[in-house]
Amino acid sequence: MNPLSALYGAGVGLRNRLYDSGTLRTHKLQGPVVSIGSISAGGAGKTPFLIMLGELLKQRGIAFDVISRGYGRKSKGVRLVNPAGSPQEFGDEPLLIARKLGVPVIVGEDRYAAGQSAEKKFGPQAHLLDDGFQHRRLARDFDIALITECDMNDTLLPSGRLREPLSSLTRASALAFIHDGSAAQIPETGDAYRWRVVRGIVVPETTNLYFAFCGIARPAKFFTELGKAGVRVVATHAFRDHHAYTATDVELLFNLAQAGGATALVTTEKDAVNLGEFADRLHPLHVVPVQMEFEALPDRESPVDLICAVLQRRAEMTVRE
């Protein structure tokens, strides 16, 4: 193992042992908490998964909010996301979640403080904790860890993308394997539920020649998905994850698209959030949503039924207390 990865792993292991032993305390909110996270540094699909789960809970009439760190924002402290706001103020992913789900999204470096603020404003309803697997300070009632086929062969930071070793998955309540048709199996780790989640994209009409660009954790995956879906991509350009677009970037993209012979541009929903008003300068621009759905497993309780049961049990416990 890379010496820096070994040092990083030792630090992660010590921190987890301190939480496991109770030396580091967890803090419990009044309402139930369902955490959605992963062991990799970006690219697992946490945001589209959370949006999918949120839509399913809304269909069941479950009231909830979303608690997020608000990665990449310039502001500090606890903030209620304004869907009409900017990624600089709230972070690109919380802003996308607020716009797609239409529920309260609260950002804060301290997720417990953000949850307390949410309960003060909206009462002790259910909370979806965004990117929460490593944020052990906030207690959760159900812990979902997303994994991909790439994660199963990866190494710890900084030589790889794993924030924790695969053995950490033993503390998850459920493992959600995100795939695009792969037959790979979910690792047998602990007693967690095992779900398979199909990931796909909603492609634009394919008569255009597209210039594809993005600023996400795994840009090559997005470009490959476009090709597999039949989108004719003539050229691509990738920025760093959470890239904040400028007028200079837009000019660069427009020139690259023209030089490649593209008749339209295509990007992700997260990039559309980060483009803001600059998106109008990249006409015609097609924004590609990611869609996810649980694979039905015969003779097994559906993930949504299971989560709703957890929320109901916690609500009943809160009333008794």
CA distance 288 to 271: 10
Phi-psi sector, 27: left (phi>0), alpha (psi -120 to 50), beta? beta
From CA 224, how far away is CA 228, in angstroms rounded?
Answer: 6
Name the band, by pLDDT with cuts 50, 70 and 90, for residue 299.
low
- Return the SS3 of 123: coil
CA distance 229 to 210: 13
Per-residue model confidence as pLDDT tens digits over 57-107: 999 999 999 999 999 899 999 999 999 999 999 999 999 999 999 999 999
**In the chain, which ranges are E strands?**
33-38, 64-68, 79-80, 105-107, 126-130, 142-147, 174-179, 193-201, 210-214, 233-238, 264-268, 285-288, 290-294
Cα Rg, the chain, nearest whole Å? 20
Helix runs in 150-276, H state only: 219-228, 247-259, 269-275
| 18: its two tokens | 């301190």
CATH 3.40.50.1100 fits 203-288, yes or no: no
3-state secondary structure (DSSP) of residue 40: strand
Distance separating alpha carbons of residues 90 and 85, to the nearest angstrom: 7
Q: Please check whether the two domains, 3-8+20-199+294-320 and 203-288, share a CATH topology.
A: yes
Joined together, the tokens standing for residue 153 give: 């062969």
DSSP-assigned beta bridge partners for residue 198:
179, 293
* Residue 319, pLDDT score: 63
| pLDDT given for residue 320 in this prediction | 63
pLDDT in tens, 12-60: 999 999 999 999 999 999 999 999 999 999 889 999 999 999 999 999 9
Mean pLDDT, rounded, for 152-165: 94
β partners of residue 106: 67, 80
Q: Is the pLDDT of residue 123 over 90?
A: yes
CATH of 3-8+20-199+294-320, one of 3.30.750.200, 3.90.650.10, 3.40.30.10, 3.40.50.300: 3.40.50.300
Write down the pLDDT at residue 315: 78
CA 174 to chain centre: 16
Mean pLDDT, the chain, as a whole number?
93
Q: Which two tokens stand for residue 251?
A: 């000019």
Q: What is the DSSP letter of 26?
A: P
Model confidence band, residue 298 (pLDDT cutoffs 50, 70, 90):
low
Please enumerate in sequence order all residues whose Cβ is within 8 A of that of 146, keeping only pairs 6 or more positions apart, or say none. 36, 37, 38, 44, 45, 46, 49, 176, 178, 197
| % of the chain with per-residue pLDDT over 70 | 97
Domain boundaries, the chain: 3-8+20-199+294-320, 203-288
Share of residues in the chain with pLDDT > 90 (%): 85
Tens of pLDDT, residue by residue over 107-122, are 999 999 999 999 999 9
Contact 258, 237 (CB under 8 A): no
**Which has the minimum average pLDDT: 35-49, 161-175, 194-208?**
194-208
Rounded to 5 degrees, φ, ψ at 65 are -125, 175
- Give the C-alpha separation, 242 to 83, whole Å: 17
